[in-house]
Amino acid sequence: MSPEPSGEPAPEHRESAFLAVFPRIAQLSTAITKGRLVERATDEAGLARDRPAIGVLMTLRVAGKPLRIGEIADRMQVVGPHVTRQVQILEKRGLVRRVTDPDDGRARLIEATGPGEEAANRYVTYLLGWFTEALTDWPRQDRDDLARLLARLADDVTARLARFDDGGDRTSGA
């Protein structure tokens, strides 16, 4: 199969290349699930019984600022009532608090407390340590390439899925 005039592989080749990788993605997902990696990291964070709540803390950590419930829900790709329940659990445990939105005094933002930030940091530290150990024998260039390509994949998939919300991308070829 020859490349298209632009130097890019023909669409059929791109699809077959992805089909070769797709089972490996499923294998990775299954291995992480069976290995209970997320549960172990959640235990390390001290949130064993509140596993869904770590998503709220991680969303706040990544944002680096307090967020409204709706913003948290959007970033987690869940519905608002789910986030509200998790925030209530986290509030009772002293891991988040509601603060006034400086741009709109009527609105409330959710921010992590010191203990909430510490729990999120323990979670991240556990995961980073685990993956660092798993990749310890990889050459640095391979680790850098993996990080770059995973970031690109996440960005491209997220952007493409956002088009569904915008009413576009109805066919697999769009």
Query: Based on the structure, what is the number of domains in the chain?
Result: 1
State residue 52's pLDDT score. Answer: 74
10-residue mean pLDDT profile of the chain (174 residues): values are 57 74 87 86 82 89 95 90 93 95 92 96 94 95 94 89 71 50
What's the CATH number where 73 sits? Answer: 1.10.10.10
CA 113 to CA 92: how far, in whole Å? 12
User: What number of H helices and E strands is found in the chain?
Assistant: 7, 2
Asked whether residue 27 is domain-assigned, the answer is: yes
> Is position 42 within any domain?
yes
* Predicted local confidence at residue 9, as pLDDT: 63
Domain that holds residue 19: 12-134
In a domain, 1, yes or no: no
Record the pTM.
Answer: 0.75
In a domain, 151, yes or no: no
Say if 81 falls within a structural domain: yes
